[in-house]
Amino acid sequence: MAQYLMSVLTDTTEVGTAEEMAAIDAFNAKLEADGHWVFAGGLASPSTATVVDGRENEPVFTDGPFLESKEHIAGFWIINAPDFDVALRLAAQGSKHCNRKVELRPFLSE
């Protein structure tokens, strides 16, 4: 089993519609039933972000996201899958259910 991060990409600040949320709930239930579920969550808009640099003595707080980009992450899933082809299929289903693009990335396994 390997773990993958599925990030939901979007270029609007609009939250999901009721229909999209219902589809996501159904997909989540299926992930749990099939043993793929690890964690998932939606994120507040990038404008609510704070960048924190605590490497020096006094932490520095910066209001806003680290990168201003056209697309941002609106939410994510962490899934368990036996291999990449299964993860790829789940990502395609996740993208369809949340009606947004999804970026699939493996976690470092070692």
Q: What residues make contact with another protein under the rule CB under 8 A?
A: 2, 4, 83-85, 87-88, 104-106, 108-110
Q: Which is nearer to another protein, 57 or 109 (CB)?
A: 109
Minimum distance, C-beta of residue 48 to another protein, in the bound complex (Å): 31
81 token code pair: 């899958």
| DSSP letter for each residue of 51-87 | EEE-SSSS-EEEES-SS--S-EEEEEEEEEESSHHHH
Minimum distance, C-beta of residue 84 to another protein, in the bound complex (Å): 4
Minimum distance, C-beta of residue 98 to another protein, in the bound complex (Å): 20
Q: Which is nearer to another protein, 90 or 104 (CB)?
A: 104
What's the CA gap between 72 and 10, in Å, rounded? 6
54 token code pair: 């605590």
